[in-house]
Structure 1
Amino acid sequence: MSRSAAKQRVRVSVARLRRLIVGLLALATVAAAAACTTGEDRPRIVVTTNILGDITREIVGTEADVTVLMKPGADPHSFGLSAVQAAELERADLVVHNGLGLEENVLRHVDAARESGVAIFAAGEAADPLTFRTPADDGGTTSGMSPDETEGQPDPHFWTDPGRVRKVTGLIADQVIKHVDGVDESAIRAHADRYDEELAVLTAWMEKSFDRIPEDRRALVTNHHVFGYLADRFGFEVIGAVIPSGTTLASPSSSDLRSLTEAMAEAGVRTVFADSSRPTRLAEVLRAESGGRVQVVELHSESLTAQGEGADTYLRMMRANTTAMTDGLTAATNGD
């Protein structure tokens, strides 16, 4: 091979190498852009329950990616995580969970994330929690019901009181600003302030709606103890629950059902509110126990619905529940 031919071959090889390098750099740029687009480099917040997830998304907006672990319609007391979801907890910048024993099958994963250095915020613990109390503690009529292992324990169902959700909204904003790098503090504050105003409007609307219910008919019976905070905020009396516990994982005895039926008859209660995330079979059993004189009304008390199904945000859930409760209790008053 002549010297000129060899030089020409070297020049061709160098040109090809340059084109290859340029191509690789272009691919790297595209990959980096794709990573940003898909959120790999964006701050990440993981929330356990879908009610808290909706509240957190309202506060965060587009400032960070918010992953919600609990599916619509699931029961917070019994839902579990896949291995992929458990790993997401440990990769998060911030984990928001309810705490107070609500997510019974998820707490060990939250603890593992905490041990790995992830910032954890327990909303229920920060919401001035009430304690579970049986109606007998308030001079009620269900003293014959079996003791509940949650009696005297903190009640995790704080979200039934929108006033406490207003407090938690501000605290979540504080946690996001403190622990999640790259977010715009002014944007987070603006989102939280706007949502706080919406919660104030919700509270006023609920008060006006509940004013339709006569004082002597503001009595609640549910499928398990979930509305203690709502009762405390809006002046209801909790007569009892089909499952005399703060968790849906408990079961009632025949004596529990008999005692509750007697208490309902004494108080003139004809409406039972059953959570949509759990089967209403036990509430139907209670209706059979009372000779069919009890109306069972479905609420969305522990889980949001899928989008478009009437309770897919916290605000819509609370409005739907308020309407159902008001209609159910005023219908009972009118003898329907």
Structure 2
Amino acid sequence: MKPETASTGSPQPVALFADLRQIRTLLTGLFILGSIYALYFSRDFILPVILAFLLALMLTPIVRFLRRRGIPEPLSATLLVVISVTLIFGTGYFLSGPVIDLANNASSIGYRLTERLAELRHPFDRLMQISAEVQRVTQSTQEPGVQRVVMAQPGILSQAASNVLSAGTTAAITFVLSLFLMASGSMFYEKIVQSFARMSEKKRALRIVYDVEREISHYLLTVALINGGLGLAIGLGLWAIGMPNPAVWGVAAALLNFLPYIGAALTIILVTIISLITFPSFAFALVAPAYVLACDIIEGQFVTPVVVGRRLEINAVSIFIAVAFWSWLWGIIGALIAVPLLVVIKVFCDHFDSLRHIGNFLAAQQSHDSEEVAEEAK
């Protein structure tokens, strides 16, 4: 007589499917880890490529507008790239002096800030003494024959030269590649259409590509203009208040505002520090950070939701995770492009039924179905 399991035949397929699911899960995990590993060690190549695509997407509406006015795409793309390079490097050169002065005076700024906050430091004096005693005891208990080994670090000049060379290479690749992307016109769309056999698939692919590009281009260009306006308003307001180097804080506010919540908080903290050591009165020193806070509230609660729309808003949890991940992976540049990359992923996922649940997870607003499920669960 045959065994019962062989007659039914059910345990073997179930076990086989379970093994296949485990293998697929394992392969997916390995693929994710391998992708993170590749992104980290190939950042010198991938980072300028992503920056070039984001810059090209941001400037594409202007290229299309100029094309409808009779200006060919290669000419308009070249003009926009030249203007972008001039604006970025001109602003950097103009602000290099004040930024270098702030860096050189960092120690004195810290000392003056400590003096202003001396009355708030007393509760922490005992804790600092305990920490110093623990460090002294730890060093004294070290064995006399043991030597401390310190790895020699590269000199400051060599590090600076390496950073300048790397930044220059990244900028060159970014601007040249973005120029080619914008000047190529509809070449990529033609290649996408040629990749499909049936006409219905060609139309659907072309519609999705155009929708994704239009929404992302609109978002990036609009947010860049809004951040520029925010920086201009903050810079002019701080100049009227009497803050030193108001242009530096305006540019810093515009750049840091690409980091929702985090960027505004960093701007307020920096302005508060400089304001406390600049103005003798505590009450007047709080005017500058209060003005920055008011500008951030108006921009975040009124201007951006009205102009950009709430459909492209990302929930705060996803933003914090993305900023932490990309800043760990690619540093400050990764942190600045974290939210634009999230928007790109969300828009792309919203156009595919199989990926729509990812776009819904990234969205700031609950969908109608999720609200009904939440009400039923209650």
Structure-1-length-normalised TM-score: 0.31
Give the structure-2-normalised TM-score. Answer: 0.28
Structure richer in helix, relative to its length: 2
Q: Which has the higher strand share?
A: 1
